[in-house]
Amino acid sequence: MIVEVERVSKEFARGEQRVLAVDDVSLTVAEGEFVTIVGPSGCGKSTLLHLLGGFLEASSGTMRVDGNVVTRPGPDRGMMFQDLALFPWRTVSGNVGWALEVQGRPAAERVQVTDRYLQLVGLRSFKNAFPHELSGGMKQRVALARVLAFDPAVLLMDEPFGSLDAQTRELMQEELQRIWATTRKTVLFVTHDIDEAVYLGDRVIVFTARPGRIKADLAIDLPRPRPIELKKSPAFFEHRNRVWDLLREEVLRARDEESA
Amino acid sequence: MRRAAEGLAIPVAVLAVWEALSATGVLPRYVSRPSAVGAELSQLVGSGDVVQHAAVSLYRSMAGLAIGALSGVVLGLLSGSIRAFAVFFDPLVSFTNPVPKIAILPVLIVWFGITDTSKIVLIAITTFYPCFIAAYAGVRQVQPAWIWAARNMGARADQVFRKVIVPAASPHILGGLRIALALAFILMFASEAIGTAHRAGLGYLVIFAESGGRHDLMLAAITAIGLLGFAADRLLLLVARRVLRWQPEVFRA
Amino acid sequence: MRRTLLRVAWRASSVALVLALWEGVARSGLVNPRLFPSLATIGTEFVSLFTTGIIWEHLGATLVRVAGGFSAAAAAGILLGFVMARFVVFGRLFEPFFSATYPVPRVAVYPIFVLAFGLGHLSKIALVFLECLYPIAINTYYGTRAVDRQYVWASQNMGASPRQVFWKVVIPAAAPHIFAGLRIALPVALVIAVITEMIGATEGIGYLVAYAAASLSRAQVFAGVLVIAIVGFVLDRGITFARDRLIFWERPSVAIG
């Protein structure tokens, strides 16, 4: 088991109030598994990712990645942020090679690695462009190349396709699936989109409404590789509907809580 | 470049009308013909006089600007990043910011006399503010996701500061520098017009010319100041465009 | 209420520290007390400015110039900004002009204004007007141009006439930017007024301070500077207050810095 989350809770203080975002969550992820996490808005799934990334401290419980306890951010757990966080003042290749730069790798090596990953995401000809010159989908691919370039043991992806239009989104899902097949990284992928979760994941974890707990952990036994047409198959629908039914309860619960 | 040319359309038009009106004798005596002013100015440049005065003025203003800008930017960056600095400097700057810094000049004259020092100190203090404020604001608007991404990729604290915070704040900082530059020129003129010991400087020249009734010279000196201010700003914009070429939109005033 | 007071006290502590330092240096005997008066001396002089009534004539003169120049610039600048935004010709003509001449120190033309208008109010009001025009016109222009077309379309959809669209949609939508311009211009007005009074005037706080410096009444210099500082502070708080009241739908103004 490469990722171990043991009874982790996270409480936030908002002024006078205390908000429990994550409540006693435990899960394990095996090496090479692609695990997706779905849940209603505000259920703490992003928080869990931030905890694993070491950006936030857990209120209780422990997390281990590859045997090491998680205490701070580090390149062993590569994070792809919701708003991408590309550095606008660096070119595409500057962004992709950034981790290698701060780790002090020699220039020749950086160029080699950067080129390789840009090739993988199909953006090699844009290496000297600045982020503001790129479309949404292209920025996504740069962010993906960036997080792969420093070869983290685990990939944490926080709704990476959230801001894309539906068509680009589908294309990116297929891209990601293809790239993942070649690298076989361990991935934790948070999303709102049920179809996306089922299409991409070996396992789908359903979170409850806040405070976030694990409601269900479903194995998705669809065959790999998964072309995008798989989304039209009955087997896919079966999985998808199961997830939706579980999720629906939680979405309604979350909505009721909001209006309360 | 085109925009600079467009910007000069109105002044050029005004100059043309002015020249024409001067010929008719309609304008008051102190509003010399532009051509006369131009002649006077080129004569001054030729004789090296104006260059000397300009050099003194520029020395004072640029020295003051360098001190003020450097300290302002550095302290602003530090205050934006480190709580301890912010706690000390932020209230000081906030309270004293609305105070017109020119008011300090008489105090400085009391302490240092009518010397270059009092002018340089005045300009340094005045230019400190926009640079501090801009650098501070620049750091505060750095997106947390950038810092997290940098730490995720293994950057140390000093690397985060150098490679993320400073570049991310640079548009704000350059905006502050632009304001500081304009202020430096204003105070250069003001401090020289109020009093100067060595009888040098473009501001001094304006007052000297005016009191001696030499209006051509007065206007020539004013023009020289204007041109210097304009040129300095263009230079800064050139540097800014290069440094900020990753931005989608270029600077506005 | 208590929390705000605590917050203000906390922030004032570093200012208090600096003041304490000043007092320490002044009393230590390290520097000539005439050059570095203690806060007490400054305070006494400050009070006497008011009790003897010297200050009122000068303060009044300065405020007249600030108010006159600023309000004229506000009226003309906002109007000009609107015209620039509405009629492309004006925009293309004036915007590059403002942008290019922005760094030119317009104070340098003050001697010309003195020749034209004399040493009294008018020359100073004219310069204040000229200086304040820039930020107000530019901000109004950009603010008006930036008004989301969808606001305008929505109001037209609901049957508003062009006049109503202007007064009920464009002006409120551009108001934050316009106020930003006003907020920049007001301290400029004070600075320019003081500068012109120091260069050439017969009354005004700037004149008072410069005169005091020249006649070696050093404590009065410091007291006069304190008056200017207070005026600047009050003006700033005043416009912040006005802005937060009039533009209530946006976040309250942040303290600078």
- With a CB cutoff of 8 Å and minimum separation 6, the contacts of C200 are C110, C111, C114, C119
Is C75 inside any structural domain? Answer: yes
Name the residue among B193, B141, B200 with its Cα closest to residue B172: B141
Residue B252: per-residue pLDDT? 45
Q: Does residue C256 register a pLDDT over 50?
A: no
Is C254 inside any structural domain? Answer: no
Alpha carbons A43 and A20: distance in angstroms, whole number: 10
A90 touches chain B (CB under 8 A): yes
Mark which residues 108-137 of C lie under 8 Å from B by CB.
108-112, 114-116, 134
In this structure, what CATH number is given to the domain that contains residue C106? Answer: 1.10.3720.10
Please tell me the least confidently modeled range out of A76-85, B129-138, B181-190. Answer: A76-85
Q: Does residue C13 sit in the same domain as residue C84?
A: no
Residue B7: per-residue pLDDT? 65
Is C251 inside any structural domain? Answer: no
Q: Where are the alpha helices (DSSP H) in chain A?
A: 45-53, 92-96, 98-102, 107-121, 136-149, 166-183, 194-200, 234-259
Q: Does residue B2 register a pLDDT over 70?
A: no
Q: Does residue C42 sit in the same domain as residue C5?
A: no
The more confident residue out of A236 and C86 is A236
Residue B1: per-residue pLDDT? 59
Alpha carbons B232 and B221: distance in angstroms, whole number: 17
Residues in chain C with CB shorter than 8 Å from the CB of B111 are 35-36
Residues in chain A with CB shorter than 8 Å from the CB of B243 are none
Quote the number of domains for chain B: 1
Q: Does residue C78 register a pLDDT over 90?
A: yes
Task: Calculate the CA dihedral of residues A243, A55, A170, A86 and round it to 10 degrees.
Answer: 170
Dihedral angle sign, alpha carbons of residues C72, C75, C81, C84: negative
Q: Does residue C13 sit in the same domain as residue C133?
A: no
Of C93, C108, C112, the CB nearest to B189: C108
Mean pLDDT value of segment A19-37? 93
- In this complex, do A88 and B246 lie within 8 Å of one another by their Cβ atoms? yes
B158 touches chain A (CB under 8 A): no
- In this complex, do B88 and C98 lie within 8 Å of one another by their Cβ atoms? no
Residue range C183-203, pLDDT digits in tens:
889 989 999 999 999 988 888
In this structure, what CATH number is given to the domain that contains residue B163? Answer: 1.10.3720.10
Residue A210: per-residue pLDDT? 85
Residues in chain B with CB shorter than 8 Å from the CB of A84 are 145
Mean pLDDT value of segment C33-46? 82
- Sheet of strand A60-65: strand arrangement: A17-29, A3-14, A60-65, A68-69
Mean pLDDT value of segment B89-109? 87
Q: Taking the CA of residue B179 as centre, how many other CA atoms within 13 Å lie in the half-sphere pointing to its CB?
A: 20
Distance of CA B181 to the CA centre of its chain: 2
- In this complex, do B106 and C224 lie within 8 Å of one another by their Cβ atoms? yes
Q: Could you say which DSSP state residue A70 is in?
A: P
Q: Does residue C101 sit in the same domain as residue C210?
A: yes
Looking at domain A1-76+153-193+200-260, its CATH class is alpha beta
Contact indicator for C244, C252 with CB cutoff of 8 Å: yes
Q: Does residue C42 sit in the same domain as residue C153?
A: yes
Q: Does residue B197 register a pLDDT over 70?
A: no
The full set of domain ranges for chain A reads: 1-76+153-193+200-260, 83-151
Q: Does residue C154 register a pLDDT over 90?
A: no
Residue B250: per-residue pLDDT? 54
Beta bridge partners of A34: A187
A164 touches chain B (CB under 8 A): no
Residue C255: per-residue pLDDT? 47
Note down the domain range covering B166: 48-243
Å from B20 to nearest chain C CA? 19
Q: Does residue C107 sit in the same domain as residue C1?
A: no
How far CA B211 is from CA of B193, B218, C125, C235, in Å, comes to 12, 9, 22, 35
Q: Does residue C12 sit in the same domain as residue C107?
A: no
Residue range A105-132, pLDDT digits in tens:
899 999 999 999 999 888 999 999 999 9
Residue A96: per-residue pLDDT? 94
Residue given tokens 């141009």 in the structure block: C145
Suggest the residue from C191, C205, C237 to mutate for an interface test with chain B (most B CBs closer than 10 A).
C191
Is B34 inside any structural domain? Answer: no
Given pLDDT bands bounded at 50, 70 and 90, which one contains residue C59? Answer: very high
B155 touches chain A (CB under 8 A): yes
Å from B232 to nearest chain A CA? 25
B5 touches chain A (CB under 8 A): no
Q: Does residue C31 sit in the same domain as residue C44?
A: no
Q: Does residue C31 sit in the same domain as residue C54?
A: no
Note down the domain range covering C28: 1-36
B153 touches chain A (CB under 8 A): yes
Of A53, A82, A89, the CB nearest to B167: A89
Q: Does residue C23 sit in the same domain as residue C123?
A: no
Is C146 inside any structural domain? Answer: yes
What ipTM goes with this model?
0.81
Residue A52: per-residue pLDDT? 93
Contact indicator for C204, C123 with CB cutoff of 8 Å: no
Please tell me the least confidently modeled range out of A6-10, A46-50, A217-221, C198-202. Answer: C198-202
C104 touches chain B (CB under 8 A): yes
Cα of first residue to Cα of last residue in chain C, in angstroms, is 23
Is C255 inside any structural domain? Answer: no
Quote the number of domains for chain C: 2
Tell me whether chains A and C touch (3+ CB pairs under 8 A). no
